[in-house]
Amino acid sequence: MGSDGQSSARPTFTGTTNALEVALTDDVLVVHGGTPLQGKIRVRGAKNLVSKAMVAALLGDEPSRLYDVPRIRDVEVVRGLLGLHGVNITDGDEDGELVFDPANVESADTDEINVHAGSSRIPILFCGPLLHRLGHAFIPDLGGCHIGPRPIDFHLEALRQFGAVVDKRPEGIHLTAPTGLHGTKFVLPYPSVGATEQVLLTAVMAEGVTELRNAAVEPEIIDLICILQKMGAIIKVHTDRVIEIQGVPRLGGYSHRPIPDRIEAASWAAAALATRGDVEVLGAQQADMMTFLNIFRSVGGSYEVVDARPPRGGSAGVEGSIRFWHPGTELHATALETDVHPGFMTDWQQPLVVALTQARGLSIVHETVYEQRLGYTEALNKMGANIQVYRDCLGGTPCRFGRRNFKHSAVIAGPSKLHAAELVIPDLRAGFSHLIAALAAEGTSRVYGVDLINRGYEDFEAKLADLGAHVERP
Ligand code: EPU
Average pLDDT over residues 241-270: 98
Nearest C-alpha to atom 16 of ligand 1 is from which residue? 192
pLDDT at position 108 is 85
pLDDT digits over 115-130, tens only? 777 778 889 999 999 9
Instruction: For residue range 328-337, list pLDDT tens digits in order.
Output: 999 999 999 9
**Each residue's pLDDT tens digit, 277-328:** 999 999 999 999 999 999 999 999 999 999 999 888 888 888 999 999 999 9
Supply the residue whose CA is at minimum distance from atom 14 of ligand 1.
192
Which residue, among 67, 25, 39, 29, has the nearest Cα to 271 in the 3D structure?
A: 39
Residue 211 sits at φ, ψ, to 5 deg, of: -120, 120
What pLDDT is attached to residue 395? 79
48 annotated ligand-binding residue = yes
More confident residue, 396 or 72: 72
Paired strand residues for 344: 338
Whole-prediction pTM value? 0.94
Q: Which atom of ligand 1 is nearest to the CA of 150?
A: 11
Q: Is 369 assigned a ligand-binding role in the annotation?
A: yes
Torsion of CA 43, 51, 149, 27, to 10 degrees: -60
* Rounded Cα distance, 24 and 424, in Å: 8
Residues 19-71 pLDDT 10s: 445 455 679 999 999 999 999 999 999 999 999 999 999 999 999 999 999 99
How many angstroms separate the CA atoms of 284 and 307, rounded?
A: 10
Nearest CA, atom 44, ligand 1:
145
Name the residue of 48, 154, 261, 367 whose CB sits within 8 Å of the most ligand 1 atoms, as the mutation to test its pocket. 48
Residue of 47, 124, 190 best suited for mutating to test ligand 1, as the one with most atoms within 8 Å of CB: 190
Instruction: Give residue 238 CA to ligand 1 midpoint distance, Å.
Output: 22
What are 392-400's contacts with CB under 8 Å, separation 24+? 393/366, 393/368, 394/364, 394/366, 395/335, 395/336, 395/337, 395/364, 395/365, 395/366, 396/335, 396/337, 396/366, 397/337, 397/366, 397/368, 399/366, 399/368, 400/190, 400/368
* pLDDT tier at 8, thresholds 50, 70, 90: very low
**47 in a known ligand binding site:** yes
pLDDT value of residue 109: 83
Q: In DSSP terms, which residues pair with 447 in a beta bridge?
A: 29, 423
Q: Which atom of ligand 1 is nearest to the CA of 157?
A: 8
Task: Please determine, for residue 394, whether its predicted confidence score (pLDDT) is greater than 80.
Answer: yes
Instruction: Output the residue whose Cα is nearest ligand 1's atom 37.
Output: 193
- Longest CA–CA separation in the chain, Å: 68
Residue 143 confidence (pLDDT): 60
By percentage, how much of the chain surpasses pLDDT 70?
93
Ligand 1 geometric centre to CA of 192 (Å): 6
Active site residue 145: yes
The closest residue, in CA terms, to atom 26 on ligand 1 is 48
Q: In the structure, which protein residues have their CB atom closer than 6 angstroms to any atom of ligand 1? A: 47-48, 121, 145, 148, 150-155, 190, 192-195, 216, 263, 345-347, 369-370, 428-429, 456
Q: pLDDT at residue 373 above 50?
A: yes
Ligand 1 binding pocket mutation candidate from 52, 150, 292, 367 (most atoms within 8 A of CB): 150
pLDDT of residue 181: 98
| For range 401-419, the mean pLDDT | 94
Catalytic residue among 127, 145, 226, 393: 145
Instruction: Give 218 Cα–ligand 1 centroid separation in angstroms.
Output: 11
Q: What is the mean pLDDT of residues 92-102?
A: 97
CA–CA dist 10, 13 (Å, integer) = 9
Mean pLDDT of 82-106: 96
Q: Is 317 helix (H, G, I), strand (E, B) or coil?
A: coil
Q: SS3 for 465?
A: helix
Whether the pLDDT of residue 359 is over 60: the answer is: yes
Mean pLDDT of 389-394: 95
Per-residue confidence band for 145, with pLDDT thresholds at 50, 70 and 90: low
pLDDT at 120 (0 to 100):
80
All residues at 6 or more sequence positions from 153 whose CB lies less than 8 Å from its CB, including other chains: none
End-to-end CA distance of the chain: 20
pLDDT digits (tens, 9 = 90+) for 179-200: 999 999 999 999 999 999 999 9
Q: What angle do CA 178, 182, 188 make, to 5 degrees?
A: 115
Q: What sign results for the dihedral spanned by CA atoms 411, 34, 291, 349?
A: negative
Task: Return the pLDDT at 14.
Answer: 33
> Which of 248, 252, 182 is closest to 211 using CA atoms?
182
For residues 56 and 227, the answer to whether their CB atoms sit within 8 Å is: yes
Mean pLDDT of 161-182: 94
Burial class (CB in 10 A: 0-12, 13-18, 19+), 53: buried
pLDDT above 50 for 436: yes
Mean model confidence pLDDT for the chain: 92
